């Protein structure tokens, strides 16, 4: 997802419009865009009625309203950002519904991983854990092997 289109308030006859996520976007004329929605359906919008909001790429602070992942003791957990200031961030954990506030440096946040990214991380972690884990160096080597096409061979009983 590269971002989303949000309807611009104003014309009440267009109140049926809802924001949507997009995978691609190309200028269409001087005042519009075309591309594919997240669900692979085509779209065509006019800048008079729609505002584009780029997706957060993990750099800097997550914007208010975005769902992302927060680092927790056993990995990462989904949350929604409710408030951000120069010294404070307020977020709601999606698994518990609890809202928390903390200083900006207390936790790390990242964009939600795709299924392919989660599968890659799991495969690398499995490779790095056998036979003897050797810290970050072995993890980095396993990541390079995975990215180069190495896959664990499946053993079958014939």
What are residue 151's phi and psi, to 5 degrees?
Answer: -135, 145
CA 101 vs. chain centroid, Å, equals: 21
pLDDT of residue 146: 80
Closest CA to 3 of 24, 18, 27, 17: 24
* 54 close to 2: Cβ distance less than 8 angstroms: yes
Give pLDDT, residue 158. 47
Cα separation of 17 and 14, whole Å? 6
Q: Which residues have C-beta within 8 Å of that of residue 26, sequence separation ≥ 6?
A: 33, 34, 35
DSSP codes of every residue in 9-72: S--GGGTT---EEES--EE-SSSEEEEEBTTS-EEEEETTTEEEEEPP-SSSPPPTT-EEEEEE
CA dihedral 103, 104, 105, 108 (to 10 degrees): 120
Contact 78, 67 (CB under 8 A): yes
Q: What are phi and psi of 122, to 5 degrees?
A: -65, -40
Per-residue pLDDT tens, the chain, 158 aa: give them.
788 888 988 767 667 888 898 989 999 988 999 999 989 999 999 999 898 888 888 888 888 888 899 998 888 899 999 998 888 899 999 989 999 988 877 788 998 887 888 888 888 888 777 666 566 677 778 788 888 876 655 444 54
């Amino acid at each position: 997802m590269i971002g989303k289109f949000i309807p611009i308030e104003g014309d009440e006859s267009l109140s049926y419009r809802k924001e949507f996520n997009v995978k691609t976007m190309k200028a269409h004329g001087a005042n519009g865009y075309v591309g594919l929605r997240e669900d692979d359906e085509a779209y065509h919008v006019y800048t008079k009625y729609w505002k584009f909001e780029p997706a957060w790429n993990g750099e800097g602070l997550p914007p208010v309203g975005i769902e992302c992942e927060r680092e927790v003791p056993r990995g990462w957990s989904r949350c929604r950002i409710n408030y951000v200031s120069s010294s404070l961030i307020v977020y709601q954990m999606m698994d518990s519904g609890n809202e928390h506030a903390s200083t900006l440096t207390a936790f790390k946040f990242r964009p939600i991983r795709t299924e392919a990214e989660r599968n890659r991380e799991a495969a690398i972690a499995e490779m790095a854990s056998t036979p003897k884990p050797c810290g970050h160096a072995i993890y980095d080597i396993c990541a390079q092997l995975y990215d180069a096409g190495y896959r664990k061979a499946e053993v079958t009983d014939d």
